[in-house]
Amino acid sequence: MTFNPLREKGIPLEAQLRTWRELNVEPYDRNDVHPYSRTRGILLNGIEVEAVMFSHQMARNTLDSQVKRQLALLRRVEAQQQKAINWLIPGDETTIEVTLGYEQVAVDLTAWLAQHEADPYLKQVYDFALLEDFDHLYRYANLYELIEGKKADEICGDLTEITPGRPTIFEHRHPGDEIRRPMTAPAADAQSVLNALTIVAAEQQTMNFYMTIGNRYQEPIARATYAEIGLIEEQHVSHYESILDPAASWFENLVLHQWHECWMYWSAVQDETDQRVRKLYEQHLGMEIEHLRVACELMKLVERRDPEEILPVSAFSEPLKFQPNKAYVRSVLASQINLTAKDSDFVPVSTLANDDRYFRYQRRVNGDFSPTEEVIRLNKEKNGRDYRLETEGPNPVEGLRSDEERNGAETQYAQRQQAAA
């Protein structure tokens, strides 16, 4: 099944504004929301935040007041869409619970993108940061158990494993090593463009979220953990935004954004199991089809270019899906745990010279306190073990296995040695 948003009829722009009553949607029930229904909402909220912020930036770089007015109208609708989606989150879901949802998005979204990325360099870009967000999920799951006394599988289900990835303490790199090589949109595969627009919006909203809510806890360890991981999300935004085509014009970008939003809602509509939420996504899809038409008209008018020439493809054939990626994440973990970034490449840490800026940056920020290590230590102290959800066996990296498993392996090894002697 394919979908061509340029050939569909949307909702007229004038008919898109909604009342406060319509925007103040009934939140989902935290006890029976499907974990992937939660992640879809978090992702779509991030897409709408990007739509709003991109439009503001474009407006600030636009002289023509007629164009500014048209942007303002589109943007007001995007801002309403953002409310309708983000207000699905109920007030009795705690900040750490929402956070667990954000990191589950990061894991299963990035893993899907990596497996649908034809360009080997871009695939490496996804695999690399996948292991980092995967580790964040483990750190927050332990913070959750430490502070709220609950287990993260109540939120994430057993769809996503929870175990260490690239330890957050090692993720801190010099900003100069976070800049990737850009794609050129006209030459790139359509899926590569959709993938990049998706991940940039998702990581950016994660960054926004942590920078805003990280100070809502009184416990010093919670505040410190949000500050530390929040800075990694800043790195991730730098990492991912640098793969976007920097040569695209403002109007080209506007068209791409609306085209991408169509793909997002077309995908969400197909998978959403909550009928009420699915209706909301259908409504938004109708709005985005019209946004795309309006953006194309603006581009023709101002740049005198045909938008269909700049769109990598007009019809979508594959929807984005939230689904378990356990085997995939494990294979990346097993093969790439030792990587770090050097300029725009990914290299084993062991190849860096002792005086590399990576080590200098590490020493500077980690100092004598690592919140994300401390949170594990504290939770072990409280519960006698760290929190993990390893449904497919022990962590594939030996050094990341639990104390119990490592002690077990050492005992076995000692027994074998004894037997051999």
Binding to Fe ion in span 137-156, by CB under 5 A: none
For tokens 């332990």, name the residue. 142
Task: Tell me: does residue 127 bind Fe ion (CB under 5 A).
Answer: no
Q: Which of 217, 211, 213, 257 is nearest to 236 (CA)?
A: 211
Of 13-21, 26-34, 152-160, 232-240: span binding Fe ion (CB under 5 A)? 232-240
Of 17-25, 233-241, 393-401, 402-410: span binding Fe ion (CB under 5 A)? 233-241
Q: Smallest distance from the beta carbon of 7 to Fe ion, in angstroms?
A: 18
Q: Which two tokens stand for residue 384?
A: 């006698």
Q: Smallest distance from the beta carbon of 21 to Fe ion, in angstroms?
A: 20
Task: Tell me: does residue 178 bind Fe ion (CB under 5 A).
Answer: no
Q: Smallest distance from the beta carbon of 226 to Fe ion, in angstroms?
A: 11
Binding to Fe ion in span 255-314, by CB under 5 A: 258, 261, 288, 291
CA distance 58 to 68: 9
CA distance 297 to 278: 29
CB nearer Fe ion, residue 74 or residue 190: 74
Size of the site for Fe ion (CB under 5 A): 14
Q: Which of 330, 310, 323, 338 is nearest to 395 (CA)?
A: 330
Beta carbons of 342 and 352 less than 8 angstroms apart:
yes
Of 112-120, 131-139, 180-188, 352-360: span binding Fe ion (CB under 5 A)? 131-139
CB nearer Fe ion, residue 48 or residue 108: 48
Q: Smallest distance from the beta carbon of 117 to Fe ion, in angstroms?
A: 17
Residue type, 324: P
Helices 190-213 and 35-60 cross at an angle (nearest 10°) of 90
Q: Smallest distance from the beta carbon of 353 to Fe ion, in angstroms?
A: 28
For tokens 């009928």, name the residue. 275
CB nearer Fe ion, residue 294 or residue 400: 294
Q: Which one of 55, 70, 81, 267 is in contact with Fe ion (CB under 5 A)?
A: 81
Q: Which of 392, 391, 389, 397 is nearest to 333 (CA)?
A: 397
Q: Which two tokens stand for residue 116?
A: 């649908």
Task: Tell me: does residue 388 bind Fe ion (CB under 5 A).
Answer: no
CB nearer Fe ion, residue 108 or residue 133: 133
CB nearer Fe ion, residue 97 or residue 233: 233
Beta carbons of 108 and 160 less than 8 angstroms apart:
yes
Q: What is the dihedral of CA 263, 267, 269, 271, to 10 degrees?
A: -170
Count of CA atoms in the C-beta half-sphere (13 A) of 84: 25
Binding to Fe ion in span 32-71, by CB under 5 A: 48, 51
CB nearer Fe ion, residue 211 or residue 406: 211
Q: Smallest distance from the beta carbon of 68 to Fe ion, in angstroms?
A: 17
Q: Which one of 133, 135, 171, 178 is in contact with Fe ion (CB under 5 A)?
A: 133
Of 172-180, 230-238, 247-255, 357-365: span binding Fe ion (CB under 5 A)? 230-238
Task: Tell me: does residue 136 bind Fe ion (CB under 5 A).
Answer: yes
Beta carbons of 144 and 150 less than 8 angstroms apart:
yes
Task: Tell me: does residue 78 bind Fe ion (CB under 5 A).
Answer: yes
Q: What 8-state DSSP symbol labels residue 176?
A: G
Q: Which one of 40, 180, 236, 260 is in contact with Fe ion (CB under 5 A)?
A: 236
Q: Which two tokens stand for residue 414?
A: 């000692």
Q: Smallest distance from the beta carbon of 132 to Fe ion, in angstroms?
A: 6
Q: Smallest distance from the beta carbon of 178 to Fe ion, in angstroms?
A: 12
CA distance 197 to 99: 22
Q: How buried is 420 (Cβ within 10 angstroms: 0-12 exposed, 13-18 middle, 19+ buried)?
A: exposed
Residue type, 300: K
Q: Smallest distance from the beta carbon of 103 to Fe ion, in angstroms?
A: 5
Radius of gyration of the chain (CA): 23
Q: Smallest distance from the beta carbon of 25 to Fe ion, in angstroms?
A: 15
CA distance 400 to 87: 38
Binding to Fe ion in span 190-209, by CB under 5 A: 203
Q: Smallest distance from the beta carbon of 18 to Fe ion, in angstroms?
A: 13
Residue 316 CA to chain centroid, in angstroms?
A: 21
Which parts of this chain interact with Fe ion (CB under 5 A)? 48, 51, 78, 81, 106, 133, 136, 203, 233, 236, 258, 261, 288, 291
